[in-house]
């Protein structure tokens, strides 16, 4: 059956089905793991600055909670849909399982364009959405975090809203918060630092020297920009970067610190000195050793896969490679470190933040980074070993490991009642 790549949930289910076939999962287990456990749709009013009231739609989906409380980000975007949130919740289940942290998968989103909202409108929207989903979230049940177009300040408003309902402060209900109210050292850099660790490990495996490797990064948000800096510091030559305004390219290398400063000053990378402009589509097909898609889903597809020149692809974004492109790249011998492993640094340090909040005992940044490195490198090695044992690629290795762990927890707990 053909997969609709425009529907992220179809893609997520097809990836699960492939792993389920290889694992020989029972009909019952497939039925349970294919479907989200809970789906909440909320429609709520927000008073705008001009006095008008507008209605917004939000979602919170829990995919599976057999290994622990649900965990997953909240995104504010005009593209948010129930199927997208379902897919992201399922990917979170596998992501938590692949790195071995005791969470299940969840995701949330509000259908809006946050760039068109004032700060006060954004705060009212965030607080009202947090109130609407408060029937699901809690430090022992479902712990949200930042995602696309949300940030520590928005998490602070949501944590405060939940705490107001309880009558006392509940820092462990949300992660990705500012340090002043129970956030964790190293959280902002966590996803990118995880990407640095798995990139380093994958380079070792395929005999690539960072100092002789060129890297292209699509996306210059928190993950893309910090990944660029950390890979630059690892010795890689960053030859192209992009944001929503388009890409910049210099085959001789870009000074990432200068690019970050320029982007902050001008609000975009476009016009960065000593670079030529490229489109986001062209960027993916530039000559390079390593390609890091750190933007949105479905960027490497059947249409552009034949032009991809990288030998190593690190999926910093969720679902950037379609199943069709995935198979073609594998046939060509391109190594792909899949999203559920590559970008799991964020949820790993979210887990650390949650543990610190529950204990009211906080760790130093070097402790956070050391623990993150240990978990990410151990997870990469386990995925690599599983892929080699099963004579498959890293994506399937990660899925076989993750799905087996969730299936085991589900089997042991049984079907209630």
Report the percent of the chain where pLDDT is more than 90.
Answer: 86
Q: Is the domain of 117 the same as that of 160?
A: yes
pLDDT at site 323: 86
Range of 65's domain? 8-173
Q: What is the mean pLDDT of residues 323-346?
A: 94
pLDDT at site 6: 73
Pair 314, 236: CB distance under 8 Å: no
- More confident call, 286 vs 6: 286
Report whether pLDDT(2) > 80: no
Q: Is residue 79 part of a domain?
A: yes
Grade residue 45 by pLDDT with cuts at 50, 70 and 90: very high
Tell me the HSE value of 123 on the side-chain side, using a 13 A CA sphere. 9
pLDDT at site 1: 54
Q: What is the mean pLDDT of residues 248-261?
A: 93
pLDDT at site 8: 85
Helix 190-205 and helix 222-234: axis angle, to 10°? 40
Annotation says 107 is catalytic = yes
Q: Is the domain of 25 the same as that of 139?
A: yes
CATH code (residue 229): 3.40.50.720
- Indicate which residue of 107, 177, 237, 386 is catalytic: 107
358's CB contacts (< 8 A; 6+ apart) are 139, 172
CATH code (residue 79): 3.40.50.10860
pLDDT at site 314: 96
Dihedral angle sign, alpha carbons of residues 113, 118, 122, 125: negative
Q: What is the mean pLDDT of residues 389-409?
A: 96
Pair 376, 101: CB distance under 8 Å: no
Q: Tokens 């949330």 correspond to what residue?
A: 108
Q: Is the domain of 207 the same as that of 315?
A: yes
Grade residue 180 by pLDDT with cuts at 50, 70 and 90: very high
Q: What is the mean pLDDT of residues 134-138?
A: 97
Task: Give the chain's domain count.
Answer: 2
Read off the tokens for 339: 């999203």
pLDDT at site 221: 87
Q: Is the domain of 108 the same as that of 220?
A: no
Q: What is the mean pLDDT of residues 145-156?
A: 94
Rounded to a whole number of angstroms, the CA Rg of the chain reads: 21
| Length of the chain, in residues | 417
Q: Is residue 77 part of a domain?
A: yes
Q: Is the domain of 144 the same as that of 262?
A: no
pLDDT at site 244: 87
Whether cis (ω within 30° of 0) applies to the bond prior to 417 is yes
Q: What is the mean pLDDT of residues 175-202?
A: 95
Q: Is residue 250 part of a domain?
A: yes
Grade residue 382 by pLDDT with cuts at 50, 70 and 90: very high
């Amino acid at each position: 059956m053909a997969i609709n790549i425009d529907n992220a949930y179809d893609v997520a289910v097809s990836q699960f089905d492939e792993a389920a076939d290889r694992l020989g999962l029972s009909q019952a287990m497939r039925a349970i793991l294919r479907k989200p456990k809970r789906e909440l749709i909320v429609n709520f009013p927000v008073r705008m600055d001009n006095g008008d009231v507008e209605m917004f739609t939000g979602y919170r989906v829990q995919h599976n909670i057999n290994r622990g409380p649900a965990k997953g980000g909240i995104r504010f975007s005009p593209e948010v849909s129930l199927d997208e949130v379902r897919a992201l919740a399922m990917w979170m289940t596998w992501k938590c399982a692949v790195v071995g942290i005791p969470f299940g998968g969840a995701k949330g989103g509000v259908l809006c364009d946050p760039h068109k909202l004032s700060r006060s409108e954004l705060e009212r929207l965030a607080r009202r959405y947090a109130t609407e989903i408060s029937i699901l979230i809690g430090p022992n049940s479902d712990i949200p975090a930042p995602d696309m177009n949300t940030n520590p300040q928005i998490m602070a408003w949501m944590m405060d809203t939940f705490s107001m309902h309880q009558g006392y402060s509940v820092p462990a209900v949300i992660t990705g918060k500012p340090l002043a109210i129970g956030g964790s050292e190293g959280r902002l850099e966590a996803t990118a630092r995880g990407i640095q660790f798995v990139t380093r490990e994958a380079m070792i495996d395929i005999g690539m020297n960072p100092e002789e490797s060129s890297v292209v990064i699509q996306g210059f948000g928190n993950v893309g920009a910090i990944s660029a800096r950390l890979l630059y510091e690892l010795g890689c030559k960053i030859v192209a970067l992009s944001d929503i305004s388009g890409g910049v390219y210099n085959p001789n290398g870009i000074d990432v610190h200068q690019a970050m400063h320029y982007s902050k000053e001008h609000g975009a990378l476009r016009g960065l000195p000593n670079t030529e402009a490229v489109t986001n589509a062209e960027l993916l097909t530039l000559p390079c050793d390593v390609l890091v898609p750190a933007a949105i889903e479905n960027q490497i597809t059947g249409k552009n896969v034949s032009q991809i020149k990288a030998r190593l692809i690190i999926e910093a974004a969720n679902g950037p490679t379609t199943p069709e492109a995935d198979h073609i790249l594998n046939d060509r011998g391109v190594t792909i470190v899949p999203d559920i492993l590559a970008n799991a640094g964020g949820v790993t340090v979210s887990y650390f933040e949650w543990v610190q909040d529950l204990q009211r005992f906080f760790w130093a940044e070097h402790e956070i980074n050391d623990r993150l490195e240990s978990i990410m490198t151990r997870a990469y090695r386990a995925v690599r070993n599983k892929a080699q044992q099963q004579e498959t690629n890293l994506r399937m290795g990660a899925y076989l490991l993750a799905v087996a762990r969730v299936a085991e927890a589900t089997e042991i707990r049984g079907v209630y009642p």
